[in-house]
Structure 1
Amino acid sequence: MSLICLKDIRKVYHMDEEKIVALGRINLRIEQGEICCILGTSGSGKSTLLNIMAGLEKPTKGSIEIDGVNVTDFSEKQWALFRQKYIGFVFQSYNLLPTLTAIQNVAVPLMFKGIKKKERTKSAVHMLKMVHLGNRLTHMPTQMSGGQQQRVGIARAFVARPPIVFADEPTGNLDSKTSREVMGLMVTMAKKYKETLILVTHDTEIAKYADRIITIHDGSILNDQSNESILKNPENLEEKVV
Protein backbone atom coordinates (compact mmCIF):
# COMPACT_ATOMS: atom_id res chain seq x y z
CA MET A 1 0.00 0.00 0.00
CA SER A 2 1.34 3.41 -1.00
CA LEU A 3 1.81 6.05 1.69
CA ILE A 4 0.02 8.70 -0.41
CA CYS A 5 -2.53 7.84 -3.08
CA LEU A 6 -4.24 10.46 -5.24
CA LYS A 7 -7.08 9.31 -7.50
CA ASP A 8 -8.49 11.50 -10.28
CA ILE A 9 -7.63 14.73 -8.46
CA ARG A 10 -9.03 17.82 -10.14
CA LYS A 11 -8.89 21.42 -8.90
CA VAL A 12 -10.88 24.19 -10.53
CA TYR A 13 -10.98 27.82 -9.43
CA HIS A 14 -13.85 30.11 -10.39
CA MET A 15 -13.07 33.80 -10.86
CA ASP A 16 -16.19 35.74 -11.83
CA GLU A 17 -17.34 33.89 -14.94
CA GLU A 18 -13.94 32.42 -15.73
CA LYS A 19 -13.05 28.82 -14.88
CA ILE A 20 -9.37 28.12 -14.20
CA VAL A 21 -8.28 24.48 -14.17
CA ALA A 22 -5.29 24.29 -11.80
CA LEU A 23 -5.15 20.49 -11.79
CA GLY A 24 -6.82 18.19 -14.26
CA ARG A 25 -7.21 14.54 -13.22
CA ILE A 26 -4.01 13.74 -11.33
CA ASN A 27 -3.33 10.12 -10.41
CA LEU A 28 -0.28 9.62 -8.24
CA ARG A 29 1.18 7.20 -5.71
CA ILE A 30 4.09 8.04 -3.41
CA GLU A 31 5.81 5.40 -1.32
CA GLN A 32 7.16 5.53 2.22
CA GLY A 33 10.74 6.79 2.27
CA GLU A 34 10.75 8.34 -1.21
CA ILE A 35 12.59 11.58 -1.87
CA CYS A 36 10.15 12.94 -4.42
CA CYS A 37 10.37 16.22 -6.35
CA ILE A 38 7.38 17.90 -7.97
CA LEU A 39 8.96 20.08 -10.63
CA GLY A 40 7.26 22.81 -12.63
CA THR A 41 7.30 26.43 -13.67
CA SER A 42 5.23 29.13 -11.98
CA GLY A 43 1.54 28.47 -12.56
CA SER A 44 2.04 24.80 -13.46
CA GLY A 45 -0.05 23.58 -10.52
CA LYS A 46 2.78 22.12 -8.45
CA SER A 47 2.05 24.12 -5.28
CA THR A 48 -1.68 23.43 -5.62
CA LEU A 49 -0.87 19.73 -5.74
CA LEU A 50 1.23 19.99 -2.59
CA ASN A 51 -1.49 21.99 -0.81
CA ILE A 52 -4.08 19.33 -1.64
CA MET A 53 -1.84 16.52 -0.37
CA ALA A 54 -1.27 18.49 2.84
CA GLY A 55 -4.95 19.32 3.35
CA LEU A 56 -4.44 23.05 2.89
CA GLU A 57 -6.81 23.05 -0.09
CA LYS A 58 -9.66 20.72 -1.01
CA PRO A 59 -9.84 19.12 -4.44
CA THR A 60 -12.82 19.88 -6.66
CA LYS A 61 -13.03 16.18 -7.50
CA GLY A 62 -11.10 13.03 -6.67
CA SER A 63 -9.89 11.29 -3.52
CA ILE A 64 -6.81 11.34 -1.29
CA GLU A 65 -5.58 8.54 0.95
CA ILE A 66 -2.65 8.88 3.34
CA ASP A 67 -1.39 5.75 5.08
CA GLY A 68 -4.64 4.00 4.22
CA VAL A 69 -6.84 6.77 5.63
CA ASN A 70 -9.26 8.52 3.26
CA VAL A 71 -8.73 12.19 4.11
CA THR A 72 -10.69 13.66 1.19
CA ASP A 73 -13.62 14.94 3.22
CA PHE A 74 -11.79 15.77 6.43
CA SER A 75 -12.91 18.89 8.27
CA GLU A 76 -10.39 21.61 9.15
CA LYS A 77 -10.22 20.24 12.71
CA GLN A 78 -9.62 16.69 11.49
CA TRP A 79 -6.90 17.88 9.13
CA ALA A 80 -5.21 19.89 11.89
CA LEU A 81 -5.04 16.82 14.13
CA PHE A 82 -3.90 14.63 11.23
CA ARG A 83 -1.10 17.03 10.26
CA GLN A 84 0.19 17.04 13.85
CA LYS A 85 0.71 13.29 13.59
CA TYR A 86 1.75 12.79 9.98
CA ILE A 87 3.16 15.95 8.40
CA GLY A 88 6.06 18.39 8.74
CA PHE A 89 6.61 21.51 6.63
CA VAL A 90 9.64 23.44 5.35
CA PHE A 91 8.64 26.80 3.87
CA GLN A 92 10.35 29.12 1.39
CA SER A 93 9.92 32.11 3.75
CA TYR A 94 10.97 30.04 6.82
CA ASN A 95 7.76 30.92 8.78
CA LEU A 96 9.57 31.10 12.10
CA LEU A 97 7.79 32.79 14.99
CA PRO A 98 9.69 36.08 15.40
CA THR A 99 9.32 36.31 19.19
CA LEU A 100 10.68 32.80 19.85
CA THR A 101 14.26 31.56 20.03
CA ALA A 102 15.58 28.81 17.76
CA ILE A 103 14.94 26.22 20.49
CA GLN A 104 11.41 27.45 21.07
CA ASN A 105 10.60 27.49 17.34
CA VAL A 106 11.79 23.92 16.87
CA ALA A 107 9.89 22.76 19.96
CA VAL A 108 6.50 24.06 18.72
CA PRO A 109 5.37 20.78 17.02
CA LEU A 110 6.21 18.86 20.21
CA MET A 111 4.18 21.30 22.30
CA PHE A 112 1.12 20.53 20.15
CA LYS A 113 1.73 16.84 20.83
CA GLY A 114 1.55 17.47 24.57
CA ILE A 115 5.19 16.64 25.28
CA LYS A 116 6.52 18.15 28.49
CA LYS A 117 8.73 21.22 28.28
CA LYS A 118 11.92 19.56 29.51
CA GLU A 119 11.68 16.75 26.95
CA ARG A 120 10.77 18.98 24.02
CA THR A 121 13.62 21.36 24.84
CA LYS A 122 16.04 18.42 24.89
CA SER A 123 14.75 17.20 21.51
CA ALA A 124 14.91 20.70 20.00
CA VAL A 125 18.52 21.20 21.13
CA HIS A 126 19.46 17.81 19.69
CA MET A 127 17.92 18.64 16.32
CA LEU A 128 19.52 22.09 16.15
CA LYS A 129 22.92 20.59 16.80
CA MET A 130 22.30 18.06 14.04
CA VAL A 131 21.68 20.91 11.56
CA HIS A 132 24.88 22.64 12.75
CA LEU A 133 23.25 25.35 14.87
CA GLY A 134 24.65 24.42 18.25
CA ASN A 135 25.83 28.00 18.75
CA ARG A 136 22.49 29.58 17.77
CA LEU A 137 20.19 27.86 20.25
CA THR A 138 18.92 31.02 21.93
CA HIS A 139 19.10 33.32 18.90
CA MET A 140 15.97 34.99 17.58
CA PRO A 141 15.15 34.75 13.84
CA THR A 142 16.29 38.34 13.27
CA GLN A 143 19.72 37.38 14.63
CA MET A 144 20.20 34.64 12.02
CA SER A 145 20.94 34.57 8.30
CA GLY A 146 18.46 33.17 5.80
CA GLY A 147 20.35 29.89 5.65
CA GLN A 148 20.40 29.59 9.43
CA GLN A 149 16.68 30.33 9.63
CA GLN A 150 15.99 27.63 7.06
CA ARG A 151 18.04 25.16 9.10
CA VAL A 152 15.83 25.99 12.08
CA GLY A 153 12.86 25.32 9.80
CA ILE A 154 14.30 21.93 8.83
CA ALA A 155 14.88 21.01 12.47
CA ARG A 156 11.28 22.02 13.27
CA ALA A 157 9.89 19.96 10.37
CA PHE A 158 11.70 16.78 11.42
CA VAL A 159 11.71 17.06 15.23
CA ALA A 160 8.46 15.13 15.74
CA ARG A 161 9.53 12.42 13.24
CA PRO A 162 6.50 12.81 10.93
CA PRO A 163 6.14 10.19 8.19
CA ILE A 164 5.87 12.97 5.57
CA VAL A 165 7.72 16.26 5.17
CA PHE A 166 6.58 18.76 2.55
CA ALA A 167 9.08 21.37 1.37
CA ASP A 168 7.64 24.18 -0.79
CA GLU A 169 10.44 26.00 -2.68
CA PRO A 170 12.71 25.60 0.37
CA THR A 171 15.72 27.20 -1.34
CA GLY A 172 13.84 29.99 -3.10
CA ASN A 173 15.30 32.72 -0.88
CA LEU A 174 18.83 31.29 -0.62
CA ASP A 175 22.04 31.61 -2.60
CA SER A 176 23.39 28.60 -4.49
CA LYS A 177 25.93 27.51 -1.85
CA THR A 178 23.41 27.72 0.98
CA SER A 179 20.82 25.97 -1.19
CA ARG A 180 23.15 23.00 -1.59
CA GLU A 181 23.73 22.87 2.16
CA VAL A 182 20.02 23.04 2.92
CA MET A 183 19.16 20.33 0.39
CA GLY A 184 21.89 18.10 1.73
CA LEU A 185 20.53 18.44 5.25
CA MET A 186 16.92 17.77 4.26
CA VAL A 187 17.67 14.72 2.14
CA THR A 188 20.06 13.32 4.74
CA MET A 189 17.53 13.85 7.52
CA ALA A 190 14.75 12.18 5.53
CA LYS A 191 16.93 9.17 4.75
CA LYS A 192 18.18 8.94 8.34
CA TYR A 193 14.65 8.74 9.73
CA LYS A 194 13.15 6.87 6.73
CA GLU A 195 10.69 9.68 6.10
CA THR A 196 9.02 10.66 2.85
CA LEU A 197 10.23 14.03 1.58
CA ILE A 198 8.07 15.75 -1.05
CA LEU A 199 9.84 18.73 -2.52
CA VAL A 200 8.20 21.35 -4.74
CA THR A 201 10.50 23.48 -6.89
CA HIS A 202 10.90 25.21 -10.25
CA ASP A 203 14.69 24.69 -10.10
CA THR A 204 16.01 21.73 -12.11
CA GLU A 205 19.25 21.77 -10.10
CA ILE A 206 17.36 21.31 -6.83
CA ALA A 207 15.29 18.51 -8.41
CA LYS A 208 18.49 16.51 -8.91
CA TYR A 209 18.60 15.75 -5.16
CA ALA A 210 15.44 13.64 -5.44
CA ASP A 211 15.08 9.92 -6.14
CA ARG A 212 12.01 10.63 -8.27
CA ILE A 213 11.09 13.68 -10.35
CA ILE A 214 7.45 14.36 -11.28
CA THR A 215 7.17 17.16 -13.82
CA ILE A 216 3.93 19.15 -13.79
CA HIS A 217 2.78 21.29 -16.73
CA ASP A 218 -0.56 23.07 -17.07
CA GLY A 219 -2.07 21.06 -14.24
CA SER A 220 -1.11 17.63 -15.59
CA ILE A 221 1.75 15.21 -15.02
CA LEU A 222 4.04 15.62 -18.01
CA ASN A 223 6.70 13.17 -16.85
CA ASP A 224 7.34 10.85 -13.90
CA GLN A 225 10.79 9.28 -13.71
CA SER A 226 13.27 7.85 -11.27
CA ASN A 227 16.50 9.78 -10.71
CA GLU A 228 19.90 9.03 -9.29
CA SER A 229 20.31 11.68 -6.63
CA ILE A 230 23.40 13.88 -6.89
CA LEU A 231 23.77 13.42 -3.13
CA LYS A 232 25.83 10.25 -3.42
CA ASN A 233 26.88 10.00 0.20
CA PRO A 234 24.39 11.53 2.64
CA GLU A 235 26.11 13.13 5.59
CA ASN A 236 26.41 11.09 8.77
CA LEU A 237 24.43 13.45 10.97
CA GLU A 238 25.60 13.70 14.53
CA GLU A 239 25.15 16.40 17.11
CA LYS A 240 27.51 19.21 16.16
CA VAL A 241 28.38 22.58 17.61
CA VAL A 242 29.81 24.89 14.96
Structure 2
Amino acid sequence: MDTLWQYQFRIILLGDSTVGKSSLLKRFTDGVYSDVADPTVGVDFYARSLDIEPAVKIKLQLWDTAGQERFRSITTSYYRNSVGGLLVFDLTNRKSFEHVREWHREVSEHVLPYHMVYILIGHKSDLDKDRKVSREEAERLAAELGVRYVETSAKRNSNVDRAFELLTRDIYELMKMGEIDARDGWEGVKTGLSNKVLYPVEEVVEREKSCNC
Protein backbone atom coordinates (compact mmCIF):
# COMPACT_ATOMS: atom_id res chain seq x y z
CA MET A 1 0.00 0.00 0.00
CA ASP A 2 1.07 3.59 -0.56
CA THR A 3 2.11 6.14 2.00
CA LEU A 4 -0.76 7.61 4.01
CA TRP A 5 0.97 10.89 4.82
CA GLN A 6 4.43 12.18 5.66
CA TYR A 7 3.36 15.27 7.61
CA GLN A 8 0.26 16.56 9.30
CA PHE A 9 -0.33 20.30 9.63
CA ARG A 10 -2.96 21.79 11.90
CA ILE A 11 -4.45 24.92 10.31
CA ILE A 12 -6.97 27.29 11.86
CA LEU A 13 -9.37 29.73 10.18
CA LEU A 14 -9.70 33.10 11.88
CA GLY A 15 -12.01 36.04 11.37
CA ASP A 16 -15.32 37.61 12.29
CA SER A 17 -18.59 35.73 12.20
CA THR A 18 -20.28 35.49 8.75
CA VAL A 19 -17.13 36.17 6.70
CA GLY A 20 -17.52 32.70 5.16
CA LYS A 21 -14.94 30.55 6.94
CA SER A 22 -17.23 27.49 6.99
CA SER A 23 -18.12 27.96 3.31
CA LEU A 24 -14.43 28.02 2.38
CA LEU A 25 -13.75 24.83 4.30
CA LYS A 26 -16.74 22.95 2.90
CA ARG A 27 -15.77 23.94 -0.63
CA PHE A 28 -12.14 22.90 -0.06
CA THR A 29 -12.83 19.60 1.72
CA ASP A 30 -16.15 18.44 0.21
CA GLY A 31 -16.34 20.43 -3.04
CA VAL A 32 -19.78 21.78 -2.14
CA TYR A 33 -21.33 25.20 -1.55
CA SER A 34 -24.52 26.20 0.21
CA ASP A 35 -26.06 29.65 0.52
CA VAL A 36 -27.36 28.66 3.95
CA ALA A 37 -24.80 27.92 6.66
CA ASP A 38 -25.36 27.28 10.34
CA PRO A 39 -23.17 29.47 12.57
CA THR A 40 -20.14 27.71 14.01
CA VAL A 41 -20.42 27.04 17.74
CA GLY A 42 -16.96 26.88 19.29
CA VAL A 43 -14.84 24.89 16.82
CA ASP A 44 -15.63 22.56 13.89
CA PHE A 45 -13.15 20.12 12.36
CA TYR A 46 -12.41 19.26 8.71
CA ALA A 47 -9.62 17.32 6.95
CA ARG A 48 -8.04 16.94 3.53
CA SER A 49 -4.69 15.75 2.16
CA LEU A 50 -2.51 17.48 -0.44
CA ASP A 51 0.34 16.09 -2.55
CA ILE A 52 2.89 18.87 -2.22
CA GLU A 53 5.60 17.18 -4.29
CA PRO A 54 6.34 13.61 -5.47
CA ALA A 55 6.12 11.17 -2.54
CA VAL A 56 5.18 13.93 -0.10
CA LYS A 57 1.57 13.85 1.08
CA ILE A 58 0.49 16.31 3.75
CA LYS A 59 -2.65 15.83 5.79
CA LEU A 60 -4.35 19.05 6.82
CA GLN A 61 -6.33 19.20 10.03
CA LEU A 62 -8.55 22.24 9.50
CA TRP A 63 -10.20 24.01 12.42
CA ASP A 64 -13.11 26.36 11.82
CA THR A 65 -13.43 28.81 14.72
CA ALA A 66 -16.48 30.79 15.78
CA GLY A 67 -16.04 34.51 15.26
CA GLN A 68 -18.34 35.60 18.07
CA GLU A 69 -16.75 37.09 21.18
CA ARG A 70 -18.59 34.71 23.53
CA PHE A 71 -16.74 31.73 22.05
CA ARG A 72 -13.30 33.33 22.24
CA SER A 73 -12.32 31.52 25.45
CA ILE A 74 -12.97 28.20 23.68
CA THR A 75 -11.13 28.97 20.45
CA THR A 76 -8.01 30.51 22.01
CA SER A 77 -7.00 27.07 23.28
CA TYR A 78 -6.65 25.97 19.63
CA TYR A 79 -4.33 28.81 18.59
CA ARG A 80 -1.24 27.47 20.31
CA ASN A 81 -1.46 24.07 18.63
CA SER A 82 -1.77 25.37 15.06
CA VAL A 83 1.04 25.95 12.56
CA GLY A 84 -1.02 27.81 9.93
CA GLY A 85 -3.71 30.46 10.03
CA LEU A 86 -6.06 31.86 7.40
CA LEU A 87 -7.04 35.42 8.33
CA VAL A 88 -10.39 35.74 6.58
CA PHE A 89 -12.41 38.91 5.99
CA ASP A 90 -15.49 39.65 3.90
CA LEU A 91 -14.77 41.98 0.96
CA THR A 92 -18.27 43.43 1.37
CA ASN A 93 -17.91 44.02 5.13
CA ARG A 94 -15.56 46.85 6.06
CA LYS A 95 -15.55 46.05 9.77
CA SER A 96 -14.40 42.47 9.20
CA PHE A 97 -11.38 43.89 7.35
CA GLU A 98 -10.65 46.39 10.11
CA HIS A 99 -10.67 43.55 12.66
CA VAL A 100 -7.95 41.54 10.88
CA ARG A 101 -5.15 43.25 12.81
CA GLU A 102 -6.88 42.37 16.08
CA TRP A 103 -7.18 38.71 15.08
CA HIS A 104 -3.53 38.64 14.00
CA ARG A 105 -2.35 40.27 17.24
CA GLU A 106 -4.44 38.05 19.50
CA VAL A 107 -3.38 34.81 17.83
CA SER A 108 0.28 35.80 17.61
CA GLU A 109 0.31 36.39 21.37
CA HIS A 110 -1.15 32.94 22.10
CA VAL A 111 1.07 30.85 19.79
CA LEU A 112 4.39 31.88 21.34
CA PRO A 113 6.95 30.31 21.53
CA TYR A 114 5.77 28.42 18.43
CA HIS A 115 5.64 29.69 14.86
CA MET A 116 2.43 30.28 12.91
CA VAL A 117 2.34 31.00 9.17
CA TYR A 118 -0.51 33.22 7.98
CA ILE A 119 -2.27 34.03 4.73
CA LEU A 120 -4.76 36.89 4.34
CA ILE A 121 -8.01 35.96 2.57
CA GLY A 122 -10.45 38.46 1.06
CA HIS A 123 -13.57 36.34 0.68
CA LYS A 124 -16.77 36.70 -1.38
CA SER A 125 -14.99 38.10 -4.44
CA ASP A 126 -18.08 37.16 -6.48
CA LEU A 127 -19.92 40.11 -4.87
CA ASP A 128 -17.81 42.67 -6.70
CA LYS A 129 -20.60 45.28 -6.87
CA ASP A 130 -20.86 45.27 -3.08
CA ARG A 131 -17.13 45.45 -2.44
CA LYS A 132 -16.09 47.72 0.44
CA VAL A 133 -12.36 46.92 0.47
CA SER A 134 -10.11 47.44 -2.55
CA ARG A 135 -7.47 44.92 -3.59
CA GLU A 136 -4.79 47.60 -3.16
CA GLU A 137 -5.82 48.29 0.42
CA ALA A 138 -5.89 44.60 1.29
CA GLU A 139 -2.47 44.08 -0.32
CA ARG A 140 -1.08 46.92 1.79
CA LEU A 141 -2.34 45.23 4.96
CA ALA A 142 -0.85 41.91 3.84
CA ALA A 143 2.50 43.60 3.25
CA GLU A 144 2.30 45.22 6.68
CA LEU A 145 1.68 41.83 8.30
CA GLY A 146 4.27 40.12 6.09
CA VAL A 147 1.83 37.60 4.60
CA ARG A 148 0.40 36.58 1.23
CA TYR A 149 -2.97 37.91 0.04
CA VAL A 150 -5.54 35.95 -1.99
CA GLU A 151 -9.12 36.83 -2.96
CA THR A 152 -11.50 33.87 -2.91
CA SER A 153 -15.10 32.91 -3.61
CA ALA A 154 -16.52 29.67 -2.21
CA LYS A 155 -19.63 30.22 -4.31
CA ARG A 156 -17.71 30.35 -7.61
CA ASN A 157 -14.93 28.06 -6.36
CA SER A 158 -12.41 30.78 -7.16
CA ASN A 159 -8.90 30.47 -5.65
CA VAL A 160 -10.13 28.29 -2.77
CA ASP A 161 -7.72 25.40 -3.41
CA ARG A 162 -4.96 27.85 -4.28
CA ALA A 163 -5.23 29.63 -0.92
CA PHE A 164 -4.86 26.42 1.10
CA GLU A 165 -2.11 25.11 -1.17
CA LEU A 166 -0.07 28.32 -0.88
CA LEU A 167 -0.26 28.24 2.91
CA THR A 168 0.63 24.54 3.01
CA ARG A 169 3.62 25.05 0.71
CA ASP A 170 4.87 28.01 2.76
CA ILE A 171 4.77 25.89 5.92
CA TYR A 172 6.50 23.00 4.15
CA GLU A 173 9.27 25.23 2.81
CA LEU A 174 9.91 26.61 6.31
CA MET A 175 10.12 23.03 7.56
CA LYS A 176 12.75 22.20 4.94
CA MET A 177 14.69 25.29 6.05
CA GLY A 178 14.55 24.13 9.65
CA GLU A 179 12.49 27.08 10.89
CA ILE A 180 9.53 24.86 11.79
CA ASP A 181 9.69 21.32 13.11
CA ALA A 182 7.58 18.77 14.97
CA ARG A 183 7.95 18.99 18.73
CA ASP A 184 6.75 16.89 21.63
CA GLY A 185 3.71 18.42 23.23
CA TRP A 186 2.81 20.54 20.19
CA GLU A 187 0.09 19.53 17.73
CA GLY A 188 0.92 22.04 14.98
CA VAL A 189 3.09 19.61 12.99
CA LYS A 190 3.24 15.83 13.20
CA THR A 191 5.49 13.57 11.14
CA GLY A 192 5.22 10.23 9.47
CA LEU A 193 2.39 7.80 9.03
CA SER A 194 3.37 5.30 6.33
CA ASN A 195 2.53 1.71 5.45
CA LYS A 196 5.93 1.00 3.97
CA VAL A 197 9.52 2.17 3.97
CA LEU A 198 10.29 4.39 0.99
CA TYR A 199 13.62 3.83 -0.78
CA PRO A 200 15.25 5.81 -3.58
CA VAL A 201 14.68 4.20 -7.01
CA GLU A 202 18.33 3.16 -7.32
CA GLU A 203 18.22 1.37 -3.98
CA VAL A 204 15.04 -0.47 -4.92
CA VAL A 205 16.75 -1.80 -8.08
CA GLU A 206 19.77 -3.00 -6.09
CA ARG A 207 17.53 -4.72 -3.56
CA GLU A 208 15.66 -6.56 -6.32
CA LYS A 209 18.93 -7.69 -7.93
CA SER A 210 20.23 -9.09 -4.65
CA CYS A 211 17.01 -10.88 -3.74
CA ASN A 212 17.38 -14.72 -3.79
CA CYS A 213 13.66 -15.43 -3.57
TM-score by length of 1: 0.30
Q: Which structure has the larger Rg over C-alpha atoms?
A: 2
Q: TM-score, normalization: structure 2? A: 0.33
